[in-house]
């Protein structure tokens, strides 16, 4: 069991990144939360948005090249028909995220350590920490870099000054590394600064894609049907695209990151309400809205039954830009799109570093060379800028990862329902458990459909 400490902010689990946060700051935050609880809802929601952070970081992490490419291709190939997948999968995933917030605030442990203790190192350190987080960060960052560098080159092209690829790689690598190395520095200041950057990235995506959609228009009848009437393609590569859309919703990395990012903020017993609001306002809403905006944007512009749309994210973006009309709208679209890989590189690298330290039994010290080395390990993906079209590789790996996501989900469900682990804070709600089990069943289904399609048994 990890160490815990008592204070006005309640019992909290010791986590080295939070150690430099003064106790008075955490107590003041709890006092602010208690004051907010008595305020009217609009004020309360704004207060939670201001105090939140790990949820926004989770959304920024999840809204990456993989999920946005899946959304763009889904819109271009299937029109509005797959819109139901996003809200359903993320909505069901919210119950598991609430479990992670419970572990953070009231569990008294660090989750990978507890998985190791209760379910073995294969499920804890290996499947959750090393495969579900570190490997994902390393493999997927190549796709983020590839997309980010392409977007930087395109943005430079608008000014008429071509940008050499190595310069774009240096800018992307330098910017993301600088943000990453700020995390946890200077007490809470560094952590909050990174959270603010991530919130700004989400805001930029919402504005950019929202304006673009307003310019091209929406077929509301088709969009409403796509939101609420389930539809699946008939197999082959198309089903991989749907699996990727589902798998890129909320998964192992999001669960683990929310838990450790909360610990890094010093969240204790009295932060659970903030954590839950952060899931709703910071993670669920931004993720769903940005995804739906992108699907609708490409459904409205490129979906024509029987005709092939461009096959990659850069091709789709390049084809869309002229349809937006004004040059300013094109630039805004590309800036919003650039926020996608940048925020994901930052979020994934942090999640990978936190999880790798837990998996290998290391204490995270943001000043140590080991932390910095592991944190920047995914930047090997910078060579992805020279690799040819890794988008389908990303999608295939996303689908493959869905095979282990359900087993980690089983482990989390068992921890939440284990009286020896959670004591009086174990799950006592039938509905909460039901939501988690529906999420696990969806993850099971994703894994099973992936295998069936792989062997040609799916339609």
Partner 1 sequence: MIDVDRKLGPWRGRVWGLVLNFVGNVIALVGLVRLMRGGSAWVLAFGLAVTLVCVAVLAVPSRGHD
Name the site residues for partner 1 (rule: CB under 8 A).
406, 410, 413-414, 417-420, 423-424, 426-431, 433-434, 437-438, 440-441, 444-445, 448-449, 452, 457-459
| Residue 340 CB, nearest approach to partner 1 (Å) | 32
Residue 232 C-beta: closest distance to partner 1, Å: 10
- Cβ-contact 101, 6 below 8 angstroms: no
Sign of the torsion formed by the C-alpha atoms of 20, 22, 25 and 28: positive
Task: Identify whether the C-beta of residue 133 lies closer than 8 Å to the C-beta of residue 256.
Answer: yes
What's the CA gap between 179 and 36, in Å, rounded? 30
Bridge partners of 13?
4
By beta-carbon proximity to partner 1, the closer residue of 56 and 78 is: 78
Q: What is the smallest separation between the CB atom of 410 and partner 1, expressed in angstroms?
A: 5
The nearest distance, CB 231 to partner 1, in angstroms, is: 13
The beta strand positions in 365-408, using DSSP E, are none
Closer residue to partner 1 (CB): 164 or 434? 434
The CA distance from 303 to 308, in Å, is: 9
- Closest approach of partner 1 to the CB of residue 422, in Å: 9
Nearest residue (CB) to partner 1, 319 versus 448: 448
CA 63: distance to chain centroid?
A: 6
For 41-69, give one letter per residue: b (16+ CB within 10 A) or e: eeebeebbbebbbbbbbbbbbbbbbbbbb
250-256-262 Cα angle (round to 5) = 110
Question: How far apart are CB 413 and partner 1 at their closest, in Å?
Answer: 7
Q: Which of 390, 404, 125, 80 is nearest to 219 (CA)?
A: 80
Q: How far apart are CA 365 and CA 82, in angstroms?
A: 43
Query: Are 65 and 393 in contact, with CB atoms under 8 Å apart?
Result: no
Select 39 or 428, whichever has its Cβ closest to partner 1.
428
Measured from the CB atom, the residue of 30 and 427 that comes closer to partner 1 is 427
**Considering beta carbons, is residue 388 or 431 the nearer one to partner 1?**
431
Q: Which is nearer to partner 1, 309 or 437 (CB)?
A: 437
SS3 (DSSP) at 341:
helix
Question: 406: closest CA among 434, 381, 437?
Answer: 437
In the complex, least distance from residue 125 CB atom to partner 1, rounded to whole angstroms: 19
């Amino acid at each position: 069991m990890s160490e815990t400490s008592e204070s006005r902010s309640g019992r909290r689990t010791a986590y080295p990144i939070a150690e430099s946060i003064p106790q008075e700051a955490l107590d003041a935050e709890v006092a602010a939360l208690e004051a907010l609880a008595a305020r009217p809802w609009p004020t309360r929601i704004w207060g939670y948005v201001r105090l939140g952070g790990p949820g926004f970081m989770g959304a920024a992490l999840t809204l990456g090249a993989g999920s946005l490419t899946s959304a763009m291709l889904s819109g271009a190939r299937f029109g509005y028909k797959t819109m139901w997948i996003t809200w359903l999968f993320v909505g069901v995933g919210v119950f598991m995220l609430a479990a992670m917030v419970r572990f953070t605030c009231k569990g008294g442990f660090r989750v990978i350590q507890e998985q190791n203790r209760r379910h073995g190192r294969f499920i804890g350190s290996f499947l959750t920490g090393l495969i579900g987080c570190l490997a994902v960060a390393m493999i997927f960052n190549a796709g983020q870099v590839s997309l980010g560098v392409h977007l930087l080159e395109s943005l430079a092209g608008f000014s008429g000054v071509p940008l050499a690829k190595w310069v774009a790689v240096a800018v992307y690598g330098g910017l993301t590394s600088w943000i990453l190395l700020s995390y946890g520095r200077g007490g809470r200041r560094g952590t909050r600064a990174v959270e603010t950057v991530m919130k700004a990235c989400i805001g930029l995506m919402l504005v950019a894609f929202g304006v673009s959609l307003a310019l091209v228009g929406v077929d509301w009848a088709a969009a409403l049907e796509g939101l609420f009437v389930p539809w699946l393609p008939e197999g082959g590569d198309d089903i991989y695209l749907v699996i990727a859309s589902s798998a890129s919703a909320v998964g192992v990395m999001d669960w683990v990151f929310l838990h450790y990012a909360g610990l890094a903020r010093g969240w204790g017993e009295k932060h659970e309400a903030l954590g839950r609001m952060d899931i709703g306002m910071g993670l669920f809403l931004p993720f769903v809205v940005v995804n739906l905006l992108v699907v609708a944007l490409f459904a409205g512009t490129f979906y024509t039954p029987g005709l092939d749309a461009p096959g990659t994210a850069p091709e789709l973006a390049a084809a869309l830009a002229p349809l937006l009309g004004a040059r300013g709208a094109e630039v805004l679209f590309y800036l919003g799109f650039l926020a996608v890989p940048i925020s994901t590189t930052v979020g994934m690298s942090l999640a990978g570093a936190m999880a790798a330290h837990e998996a290998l039994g290391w204490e995270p010290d943001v000043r140590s060379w080991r932390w910095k080395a592991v944190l920047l390990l995914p930047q090997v993906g910078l060579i992805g800028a020279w690799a040819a079209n890794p988008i389908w590789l990303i999608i295939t790996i996303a689908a493959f990862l869905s095979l282990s996501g359900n087993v980690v989900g089983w482990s989390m469900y068992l921890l939440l329902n284990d009286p020896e682990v959670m004591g009086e804070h174990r799950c006592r709600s039938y509905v909460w458990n039901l939501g988690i089990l529906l999420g696990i069943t969806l993850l099971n289904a994703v894994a099973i459909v992936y295998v069936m399609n792989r062997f040609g048994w799916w339609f």
